[in-house]
Chains A and B, each alone.
Chain A
């Protein structure tokens, strides 16, 4: 049987004893992507909300970008999950007969709530007046689409805009805890598996939340620089520095929490300690090098340095760009270490299986690259369809 070749190969590489059914890693790279993408959504949204709720003016240039990025990634967030299912066509059952004790079933509703009640509404309130204006300017199909999107509210008076802003503000206030919930919940999906000591931790949702914020902020930083470059505009250095500072603080928090989790585990040294310390050495590349060194220490060092001394703009720009990529990659490996690392060791605590990512197939590399690229395509479309730089500024009146 050709399709078992890989598993037969893995069988020869088993280290120690594993339960026979544990040879195959059930959750592979696609499930790594799922918390990663959801994290980007939550993080980007929280950045947008900071701008609005706490009125951080310096972040203004990134507001719409973060909203649209959050939306683009949210559209795709469940796709890795669905495409990894054995029976993807039965996916609707999660919404039809959700099993209330299952973290995954409730996630469906948390997701819908976040998509429908928070993100879409916030974007709608933000863009409603523009929909009206664009529906008057544009022709043909586009005109119709914009018109439908106004839901028939054609009022462009300053009073109606004020109402939009007020309602949008309320939505943002609801949105922040929702974003926390969305990603904390993803952490709970792993943190609640008592069979797996690598996952089962009360800190898991919080760690996921803060790493989500870190990755979301890095994403917005990255997107802002790219988009500004493509539009041949000038980067707002104050904005970049503010994002950098925010990233620095949250990265510290995130790193503290993760260290706390590990230190607690090492000090407690429960029955799973031996296997977990072995696991950490097995994850040397993805954990020590990629997650801790590249994804945390180097960005922290550079950002920390910038807090005391600010070099020339050009250097800062380059540094921010590199940091955003480092952090994005680092957080991806954080998810990798959780999802893949958690399945490498046997629940008998007596050995390890191996994992080698395949190129093609449903759970292969190509599939996951597709799910990483699609959000960027959606974002490009959104930026064309809802260009933030062409928004009317009635609210200023």
Chain B
């Protein structure tokens, strides 16, 4: 039979042991933030790239890639093929209120008013609703995620489920998103929606699965007139850099200072 003292002893041992385990874990948690520094150091030696799951993903600042989009409003014919193909490629719900990319038709009328429309995101084609004698000017504006470098949506994500990837693409972590919708509120361009089945935020990924395999994003691939360009802003010879050089480009809502990387040629001041 154990004596009272023995009992006390074993209890004390248990206490000491559990405190030690807890303390160890707590300590290692404190050290955790420094782990990334240590790892980054060792990565430096392997020429700015870290091996991540057998794929070379480049590090942020000095990465060779910094993706962006260039849309040419003068070339867009509003056929909606991009929006349709995007939905097919990325399993976007077919309902007319979930889009990763869509096309708006702006019509400035002679009386100074503005008519904007985007029936089903333009997927079924667009028909001009304004009689031609009333039209002052009309044009299509394709829209998608601006892949902002100072993203308001990334800023407000409470858990870090959306982020700017090292190569400048704003992505959503499907397995980590809690679906709070704060990013939907914060996006000034209305590019995000909550996926009705997955219950998480969803948005354009610049076809991250394609551009990393050397393909073009789906919308760029299927565009019949080449109104969409995508490319690497750090590569002086890329399509996008050439596009920016040859055209006078603007971004949407520049006063919000979002660091948008979606550049428009022929953007009218009316477009928002």
Contacts and interface: CB of A to CB of B under 8 A. Distances in A.
Interface string A68-104: 0000000000000100111110110110111101111
Which of the four size classes fits the interface of chain B?
35 or more
Contacts of A192: 156
A347 interface: yes
Nearest to A94: B158
Given A93-B176, A350-B116, A24 B156 contact: no
Given A90-B176, A346-B190, A21 B185 contact: no
A20 B122 CA distance: 10
A93 B114 contact: no
A374 interface: no
A144 interface: no
Given A7-B97, A21-B97, A87-B199, A99 B188 contact: no
Contacts of B200: 86-87
Interface in A329-384: 343, 346-350
From B115, B120, B121, B178, name the one whose CB has the most chain A CB atoms within 10 angstroms.
B178
From B121, B176, B186, name the one whose CB has the most chain A CB atoms within 10 angstroms.
B186
Contact of A93 (B159, B181, B184): B159
A188 to B, nearest CB: 11
Main secondary structure of the interface of B (DSSP, over half): loop
B96 A11 contact: yes
Contact of B182 (A18, A21, A104): A104
A1 interface: yes
Contacts of B230: none
Interface string B90-131: 000001111100101000000000111110110000000000
A94 B178 contact: yes
A264 B182 CA distance: 26
A27 interface: yes
A4 interface: yes
Interface string B146-176: 0000001001111111000000000000001
Contact of A193 (B157, B176, B185, B190): B185
A195 B114 contact: no
A17 interface: yes
B99 A20 contact: yes
B178 A93 contact: yes
A105 interface: yes
Contact of B194 (A26, A189, A193): A26
B196 interface: yes
B180 A104 contact: yes
A116 B3 CA distance: 40
Contacts of A22: 190
B82 to A, nearest CB: 14
Contacts of A99: 157-160
A165 interface: no
A343 B190 contact: no
Nearest to A102: B158
B38 interface: no
A4 B193 CA distance: 14
A3 B121 CA distance: 20
Contacts of A94: 158-159, 178
A135 B38 CA distance: 54
30 contacts: A8-B95, A16-B116, A17-B115, A18-B190, A19-B118, A20-B121, A21-B98, A22-B190, A24-B97, A24-B193, A26-B181, A86-B179, A86-B180, A86-B181, A86-B199, A90-B177, A91-B178, A93-B178, A99-B158, A102-B158, A103-B156, A104-B156, A193-B152, A194-B186, A194-B188, A195-B185, A195-B186, A347-B272, A348-B116, A349-B272
Given A16-B116, A17-B104, A93-B158, 15 more contacts: A8-B95, A11-B97, A20-B97, A20-B98, A20-B190, A21-B193, A85-B179, A86-B178, A87-B178, A87-B179, A91-B178, A96-B159, A99-B160, A194-B256, A195-B188
